[in-house]
Structure 1
Amino acid sequence: MAGGRLHGRRRERETFDRLLRDIEAGNSRALVLRGEAGVGKTALLDYLAEQAGPGVRTTRAAGVELESEIAYSALQQLCAPLLGSLDRLPEHQREAIATAFGLSAGSPPEPLLVGLAVLGLLAESAGEQPLVAIVDDVQWLDRMSEVILTFVARRLGAESVALIFSVRSPGDERILAGLPELPVGGLPDAEARRLLDSVLPGPVDSRVRDRIVLETRGNPLALLELPKGLTPAELAFGFGGLNTAPLAGRVEETFRRRIAALPAETRKVLLAAAVEPVGDVPLLWRALQRLGIGLEAAAPAESAQLIDLNRRVRFPHPLVRSAAWRAGHADDLRDVHRALAEATDPGEDPDRRAWHRAHAVSGPDEEVAAELESSAGRALARGGRSAAAAFLERAAELTVDPGRRAGLLISAAQAHADAGSFGQVPELLAVAEMTHLDALQHARVERLRAHLALILNPGRAAGPPLLAAARRLRDLDPAAARETYLAAVGAALHAGRLDDTFLREVARAAATEAPTAGAPRSALTAQPGDAPAIEAPAAQPADAAEPAAGAAPGHGAAAGGEDAAGLLLEGITAWILDGYAAAAPALNRALDRLMEKPEPGLLWLAAPVAHEMFRHDAWDPITEQALHAARETGSLSLLPTALAFRSGILLYMGRLADAASLTDEAGALRQALGSALQPSASVTLAAYRGIQPYAGELADEVIRDAAARSEGRSLGVAGFGRAALANGLGDFETAYRAAKEAAEYPDLAVYAWTLSELVEAAARAGHAEEAAGAAERLAERTAIAGTDWALGVQAVADALTGPPGEVEGRFRRALEHFAAAGGGMQAARTHLLLGEWLRRENRRTEARGELREAYEAFTSMGAEAFAGRAARELAAAGETVRRKASETERKLTAQEEQIVRLAMAGRTNAEIGGALFLSPRTVEWHLRKVFTKLGITSRRELASALP
């Protein structure tokens, strides 16, 4: 853009014009501009804001490198003009935004709750006129703003909101990954020459012009800035050789030369404006007065178009800010920070004041260090772990006392780890260890290293460091020791068959060494500035996400304790050391206790234990309560785990569409947060749905990943998935081989299901002896469990392997047990097996009844492979099968079905949006589509329009 006119960019302008038409029509759009520095992204965003016109509301924010550690800073900048709509949000969402933005005190809000609140705020603000929200320089956003805005962008629907980002490329391509993108490249040669001609001081040799266009690759900022400050001789004879420096660096150097030509006081004005990232003009003037600089000093910079000081401080490009900052002398930089600290109201903005004070001192300063530590506490209260880490690191640099310095560094490392910045942790811990650590600090370092190893590589290598840390903590911090023992047990369970020796070692240690119940929380979890303890993903099943931060396993009694966590630890160690029968009493008592008093933070172990003990009566309410708690609180750490385990029980019930919806939600959530979802979460679902080749590819991916990271339990999950898929397809020999291999090791919550698949596959493939052996191994568990679920599973196994005269009776008893246990999928499979047996017995009429029951059940569930197997058997029994639309082929999408179920339960649009992380306007839009599909006009008609 030159002289207010955008050169070229026809494709980009057409894209923006379509986007504005879309939001004016009631739709929402998200778009990411990617391009190198200076390529014109900001000019394009300016064009969009201009084109929006008076009928569209516009709000803008930009990432600032200096402020990238201040939690929610960019988000607050974007939302500040919209806070007039805050009162329209539900109370818990209002509180989340107010706390995150520092408008009021409160408990740290979960990022998901803040994200939902921001989504609602944008939607409400767009209620009267469409809204365009522009976020420039995303590569410099603080982490929390990036996470929240990515989350919001993925959930826009029918709010009349456009959320437009610009991000520098090349860079971290994971930023905003998966959102619609508009690559922004250089101008075509003709446009580049016209733009260059508009700023050249006079005639230039055509070869020099071609050289400039070639070297800048059509980059508009480079075309405008590189010729400035060059002498006529330089323009006449070129740049003096090919410049191989990165273009952004060369453009910034041009700005530096222009800044260097300004008067000294003007340069200081630019430096102060660069250091003060909020763009507060009155604050800048107050700081300049303290520096003895008058308003007139800014005029040369404004005349040179290097800064705009109207309503807000604004640089024409981030590289100008960067150049001004980097060109500042160290003494000048300290003076500017000191002036800004003095000009900042300590009551209104104590954290930025502390940050400026910290950079104004040239040596240790305990008073400033204490301020920074207080700022870290406030940052943690807002959920800003990255900001807390930055405050703590700087506090450590200003602290003389070695012990205090070490504590601050360890707390900073913990905050970085909780924020997901794992690369920062080892160096901080290494620096901390260079001081004299006391015993508790040594234990903190060891525990953090062990948990970090578990997160980064949750295989068998993570277990020994966790066990060592637990032993060191045993006398120093009993509560933390129990947590760490249980995490070590979790790591060992995850390694499973790949390190059975260590599994037994860690179980013995937990059983004999873990502190008893009632030990208080100690200084380890009460250090100033500490973030919640890291919880290890390896301490859970392969198909779950990380346990809830701050709600770690093991916070109750150890062996012999009667709280849920203590009972789980007692039962799991007994399961490992003494077998199923010895473990059952404690594990069942733990499940009973959790049903009485839910503890969502224990879900990572409670759900697999409920599965292991065949306790549908516990599995269902425990997962439902945990998912409800995660949604109500917006718990980012708990929700993925809750979604994964809730999908498992829904699959057991035969509600595959609902299970798929939760699995998809978990995947979208993990993608929005910038982390990959482990595919094992979807293996079982894909196997039962019979999706080929997707299910097989997922299993292969899990096996490759598990082998690389020594995660033996994941091998069991993948083997079970392969066996279930092959049984559904009727490929019994393949199912037999997969199940036999997987059942060689008793993985928690996987072994019994795998034995069931092995019995069916072996019996149908002609391996009678193997089938009988698997049925006997299964009986060792089902007889002890004694639930309807267990008895039904065993009755099916016995029918497949027992004498012919008892087959039908055992299948019928299995169906009775599954009806009592709510096992829709198991019941359908039993009808299929009974129907197949009846057909082989030449009882074709009876066979068709059972097979038809199975076929219709599988079809309505969306279990395509099993439905196909039932259809083939029906055809063999002499019945023509008319293919029935499956659940997945009904008119309503999975998301529409979720909305309809909640609407029929009497939930308002706001409540539905809160449950499904959608804005109320998007819920309303979906309901209108549902009404159109079903031919109705109101919610009251939903019940009669749907089965």
Structure 2
Amino acid sequence: MMELFGRRAETATLDRLLARAADGAGSGLVLWGEPGIGKTALLDHAVSAAAGATVLRCRGTRMEAGLAFAALHELLWPVTGRLDTLPAPQAAALRGALGLSDEPANRFLIGAAVLSLVSDLARDRPVLVVVDDAQWIDEATAHSLGFVARRVGTDPVLVLLTGHSDPSSGPWEGLPALEIGGLSDEDARTLLSASVPEARPSLIDEVTRTAGGNPLALHELPTLVREPDDAPLPPPGGDPVPIGPRLRRAFQARVEAMSAPTRALLLLAAAEDRGDRLALHRAGTGWDIDATTWDDVLHSGLLRTAGSRVEFRHPLIPAAIYDGAALSERQAAHRALAAVLPPSAVEERAWHLAAAAETPDEDVAALLELAAEKSLRCGAGPTAVRTLRRAAELSPAPADAARRLAAAARATWDAGDADTARRLLDDAARLESETDIARASHGLRGILEFTTGIPERAHHYLVRDMDAVSGPRSTVGLGAVAVRAAWSAGRTDLQHEALRRLLAVDAGVDASLAEQLPTLRTWWSCYDETGEITSIAPDRAGDTVGRIVTAAWELLPPMPLVLAWGIEGSLRDVLRMQAAELRRRHELAALAVVLSQTAVLDLAAGRWDAVETDAIDGLYLAEEVGADHVATQCRGTLGLLAAGRGDEPAVEEHTTRALEVSVPRGVRALTASAYWPRGRAALLAGRPLEALSHLMPLAEPGHEAAHPTFAMLAAADTAEAAVQVGRFDVAESRLRAVATWAQRSDAGWAHATVHRLRALVRGGPTAEDSYRKALDAPGAADRPFEHARTRLLYGEWLRRARRRADARSRLATAAEVFDRLGAEPLRRRSLREQDLADAPTARRGPGPAATLTAQELRVARLAANRMTNREIAAQLLISPRTVGHHLANVYPKLGITSRGELTRIDLHGDLRLRVGVHDG
């Protein structure tokens, strides 16, 4: 192994990482520093030290930086025979990326495929992935390798990359990094003495001072200076001279001393940058480049060959040659190279011609546009964006430039960079009308606003651009998102406006679109044209789910609306299968969306352990890909889960983070999804007044959390809290709202909730029948948490009716469900009620009210008639505070816990329950 002077600490780090990888603890590391500082030598050390490992190696080049997956092709070419071991979707995607098939590329799927391939190789022996000059590898490969490097922690894999700058941002963000600095003077002298044994002490001193510890400079400067007196280096002293410019000037001086054909060949090689010796031969035909010229170049040591490939001794050399050439010479070199490329090399020819262009040129711009389309088909969005932006720069007509900028914006958005997409749209809008920009970007302005911005503004853009985009499918897509945006904003008026526009679209000959359009009325229209409620049978609604779920994402309804319709069962199964497939293929962006949706449905279905796993995974993935609203939806679901479990600190954390995003942007659906957990947490903790302060705004027009869907889903919580504080007007309004929705949707959960609230709010002789109907309603048991809450309320009612055996049975069943779910507040409440039901049942003499004082009895009777504390105080000529004190004594004496329960006790007769049920 070659000795590296002054690199003991760096080589020790590499040796340690190699040893850990061999033990199954993989990792990634970025070595960064100025050109020539010794990063490649450290990679060579790692390769030599990785005895018995599979080594995959590639190096970035400036020219191939614009070619999608060019570096990945070099890296994986030796192991393409292992592609058949991958899952079929991954193998197909990777073959497309490597140019082995026409399979369209998916960035996340390709990243997953590379990870699977590397992990599969690591089953045989440790794997070392080495990427030199990573700053020049194409962006598509960079994203794939960044994905891999962050996920090899449990595999015997080490990923080493080198670059010129700090990798704290970009594709290597989050990876450990090691800055490589210059050598000490002592180590520099040792290196010089070893590499140039014949060097005089004066030369060693001068080079050491000038090189600043850069190993490449220490190697190259002595060979570029025949004698110190003939070509003196700048005098030492003052600030250190940057080694980059110093070396470039030294190389340029050496090149200038060569013959014109030799200089031309070196410039062609620097401009070609792919190492294609045949292309250089063809391009040099008109430049007097012959065999003698090749001999001179190879003899110089600056360029070397290996078969049909050529390469420079160090990447700094072509950079120095290219930068030192005149602009006209560089343009001529690019034109010569473009002329010899085959027609299939669209991207390479386009970029050579673009580099040679002196003025706007529509032919070159059109060729770049074709190259961008090819990049998009390969899933190389960032490469396509750069190509389209250059095409816009070379477009003579403002309209063409705007169109290409708009297309670049769409590609940027697809690649996950919303901020840059907005800037590109704004640049395009300065050249052309918004209508033309909408057509070229497929309505991107509204989509961007809906995904990351303000939903009401998104609705405006989307409805406006429905007339601008071409084709009914694009029009329907924008219209469907406009409806969703209005729903997110809690604006039913805007929702109906967008829905009317959407349903008026003529699907033409698109049969599948014509079939999907009527389903949108099912989901979004709460009333028909006459304003009358229209019932929808469950089988029809379920059939709607089956048709929509295979359509574009724009047509799929939001999950809270699915819950409101009560047909989540069929959709849950579909989403679960999608999540499993996406997880297997590592399609992270789509997986984040599906996980957030699945978590909402699983929470209702009582799969609380799955909720926690899916919502947290979805949250992390959404944050990684920058999907703010998806991350906020996950936080709302986690908040509701924490409320059910009684974890109030978690409720506070998740809802606060959610509101930080949703409130400034006016996303009322997300704001409501944060208010609801806060209200439920307070209710289950025994603070009903606080609960109402969070829950009532859901149905309060104009409030930041007002949202009809969430007001409906939280109606049971709201009504229960209202009953506990004597706000029967609020409880009745929620009961009426759910009853109306039950008639409209025929949803099982809505019918069950109506029966439960009738028993809770109205009591009377039909209370028991209502509780039984709530428990037996079709589909009620599919939501076990709510079903158990009904059992708890029914059990409490039975206990107060002194039917203790029946009460114990209901309460025990409820406690078992709450225990399984981890719903600790309601489990404790169920057990407390069981203890009360276990008390002696036979009472001699008067009933519990006999223990009340005369004043307590008066207060209890008035409170049972739904009078407020202030109204009771006014009638009895006492203070409201005294009323509260009396009620605090009344509750434990009567064995109740809230004001609403007073309505079920006969405080005027022999204390029989008003429903007329006796002990039997």
Letter in 2 for 1:773: S
* 1:387 aligned residue (370, 383, 390): 383
Matched residue, 1:508: 497
1:717: how far off? Answer: 0.9
Residue equivalent to 1:757:
717
Cα contact 1:480–1:555 (8 A) shared by 2: no
Q: CA deviation at 1:849?
A: 4.7
Residue of 634, 637, 651 corresponding to 2:603: 651
- Match for residue 488 of structure 2? 494
Indicate whether 1:824 and 2:784 are aligned. yes
1:115 aligned partner: 111
Q: How does 1:555-634 map to 2 (within 5 A)?
A: 556-557=513-514, 563-568=515-520, 571-572=523-524, 574=526, 582=533, 585=536, 589=540, 591-596=542-547, 598-602=549-553, 604-605=556-557, 607-621=559-573, 623-624=575-576, 627=579
Query: What is the Cα deviation at residue 288 of structure 1?
Result: 4.9
Residues in 2 aligned to 1:789 and 1:660: alpha-carbon distance in whole angstroms: 23
Partner of 1:8: 7
Q: Indicate whether 1:705 and 2:651 are aligned.
A: no
User: Given residue 644 of structure 1, which amino acid in structure 2 is its aligned partner?
Assistant: S
1:150 aligns with 2:129: no
Whole-angstrom CA distance in 2 between matches of 1:304 and 1:735: 82
SS in 1 for 2:160: strand
Pairwise CA distance, 1:51: 0.9
- Taking the aligned partners of 2:534 and 2:301, their CA distance within structure 1 comes to 75
- The Cα shift of 1:56 comes to 0.6
State the distance in 1 between where 2:58 and 2:801 align: 74
Q: Indicate the SS of the match to 1:263.
A: helix
Q: Is the 8 Å Cα contact of residues 760 and 771 (structure 1) preserved in structure 2?
A: yes
Counterpart residue identity of residue 594, structure 1: V
- For 1:704, the aligned partner's letter is E
What fraction of aligned residue pairs are identical, expressed as a percent? 28
Structure-1 separation of matches of 2:157 and 2:171 = 21
**CA distance 1:809–1:387, change in 2 (3 Å):** same
The match for 2:93 is: 96
- Conserved? CA contact 1:63–1:135, under 8 Å: yes
Normalised by the length of structure 1, the TM-score is 0.74
The letter for the 1-side match of 2:722 is A
Contact 1:508/1:577 (CA < 8 Å) preserved in 2?
A: no
Between 457-466 and 187-196, report the one with greater CA deviation. Answer: 187-196
Q: Does residue 341 of the first structure (1) align with residue 293 of the second (2)?
A: no
Distance 1:465 1:357 in 2: 38
Could you tell me how far apart the structure 2 residues matched to 1:877 and 1:206 are? 97
RMSD: 4.5
The gaps in structure 1 that reach 5 residues or longer are 244-249, 522-553, 558-562, 880-947
Task: Tell me the equivalent position of 1:894.
Answer: none
Q: In the alignment, which residue of structure 1 is the partner of 2:821?
A: 861
| Residue matched to 2:700 | 744
Specify the SS of the correspondent of 1:678. helix
Cα distance in 2 between the residues matched to 1:407 and 1:479? 21
In the TM superposition, what are the counterparts of 1:39-78 in structure 2 within 5 Å? 40-53=38-51, 55-78=52-75
- Encode CA deviations 1:893-944: one digit per residue, 9 max, x unaligned: xxxxxxxxxxxxxxxxxxxxxxxxxxxxxxxxxxxxxxxxxxxxxxxxxxxx
Does the Cα contact within 8 Å between 1:727 and 1:735 map onto a contact in 2?
A: yes
In 2 relative to 1, CA 610–22 (structure 1 residues): closer, same or farther, beyond 3 Å?
same
The structure, 1 or 2, with the larger RCO (C-alpha pairs under 8 Å, 6+ apart) is 1
Counterpart mapping for 1:454-853 below 5 A: 454-472=450-468, 477-496=471-490, 500=491, 504-505=493-494, 507-508=496-497, 510-511=499-500, 515-519=504-508, 556-557=513-514, 563-568=515-520, 571-572=523-524, 574=526, 582=533, 585=536, 589=540, 591-596=542-547, 598-602=549-553, 604-605=556-557, 607-621=559-573, 623-624=575-576, 627=579, 638-670=590-622, 673=625, 678-689=631-642, 690=645, 691-744=647-700, 747=707, 749-764=709-724, 767-803=727-763, 806-817=766-777, 822-835=782-795, 849-853=809-813
Alignment partners' CA distance in 1, 2:185 and 2:305: 34
* Secondary structure of the corresponding residue to residue 753 of structure 2: helix
Partner of 2:878: none
Amino acid at match of 1:262: R
Alpha carbons of structure 1 residues 815 and 74: separation in structure 2 relative to 1, 3 Å: farther
Aligned partners of 2:699, 2:170: CA distance in 1, in Å?
Answer: 38
Q: Deviations over 1:376-433 (max 9, x none)?
A: 3322222223333344444455555665555444433332332234455456556656
SS in 2 for 1:129: coil
Q: Which residue of 2 aligns with 1:926?
A: none
Query: Is the contact between residue 591 and residue 610 of structure 1 (CA under 8 Å) also seen in structure 2?
Result: no
Aligned to 1:888: none
Contact 1:458/1:494, CA 8 A, preserved across alignment: no
Are 1:259 and 2:210 counterparts? no
State the shift of 1:599 in Å.
2.3
Q: SS of 1:519's equivalent?
A: coil
Structure 2 length-normalised TM: 0.76
**Cα–Cα, structure 1 residues 150 and 441, in superposed 2: closer, same or farther, change >3 Å?**
closer
TM-superposed deviation, 1:729? 4.2
Aligned pair partner of 1:21 in 19, 22, 32: 19
Tell me by how many angstroms 1:714 deviates.
1.5
> Matched residues in 2 for 1:116 and 1:666: separation?
17
The AA in structure 2 aligned to 1:792 is A
For 1:183, give the aligned amino acid. Answer: L
In structure 1, the partner of 2:80 is 83
Give the superposition deviation at 1:163.
2.9
Q: Which structure would you say has the larger Rg?
A: 2
Unaligned runs of 5+ residues in structure 2 are 840-920
1:90-142: CA deviation from partner (whole Å, max 9, x where unpaired): 33332211222222223x23333323322222233334332111234444443
What does residue 849 of structure 2 align with?
none
User: Which shows bigger deviation, 449-458 or 281-290?
Assistant: 281-290
Deviation at 1:686, TM superposition (A): 3.9
Residue 801 (structure 1) shift: 1.9
The answer (yes or no) to whether the contact 2:775–2:781 under 8 Å persists in 1 is: no
The CA distance in 1 between the partners of 2:170 and 2:832, in whole Å, is 46
Contact conserved, 1:73 with 1:142, CA < 8 A, in 2? Answer: yes
What is the rounded CA distance, in whole Å, between the counterparts of 1:773 and 1:282 in structure 2? Answer: 82
Asked if the contact 2:185/2:208 (under 8 Å) is kept, the reply is no
Deviation at 1:868, TM superposition (A): 5.9
Do the aligned partners of residues 239 and 313 (structure 1) sit closer, same or farther apart at CA in structure 2, a change above 3 Å counting?
A: farther
Does the 8 Å contact 1:726/1:732 carry over to 2?
yes
2:818–2:826 Cα contact (<8 Å) kept: yes
Cα deviation for residue 43 of structure 1 reads 3.7
Letter in 1 for 2:483: V
Q: Which deviations, in whole Å up to 9, do the C-alpha atoms of 1:563-595 show, x marking residues without a partner?
A: 33443157525569987x647649985652332
Deviation at 1:640, TM superposition (A): 2.7
**1:472-495, CA deviations, whole angstroms, 9 ceiling, x for partnerless residues?**
55xx65443333233222222222
Q: Deviations over 1:645-700 (max 9, x none)?
A: 12221221111222233234334444554666623313223432444523311110
Cα 1:292/1:89, change in 2 over 3 Å: farther
Tell me how far apart the structure 1 counterparts of residues 394 and 779 of structure 2 sit (CA, whole Å).
Answer: 67
Q: 2: CA distance between counterparts of 1:154 and 1:67? A: 24
Amino acid at match of 1:494: S
C-alpha separation in 2, matches of 1:340 and 1:307: 18
Residue 449 of structure 1 corresponds to which residue in structure 2? 445
Q: Mark the CA change 1:266 to 1:253 in structure 2 (over 3 Å): closer, same or farther.
A: farther
- In structure 2, what residue type is equivalent to 1:683? G
Distance in structure 1 (CA, Å) of the matches to 2:690 and 2:770: 26
Q: Secondary structure at the match of 1:641?
A: helix
Amino acid across the alignment from 1:122: V
1:175 aligned to which of 171, 184, 188: 171
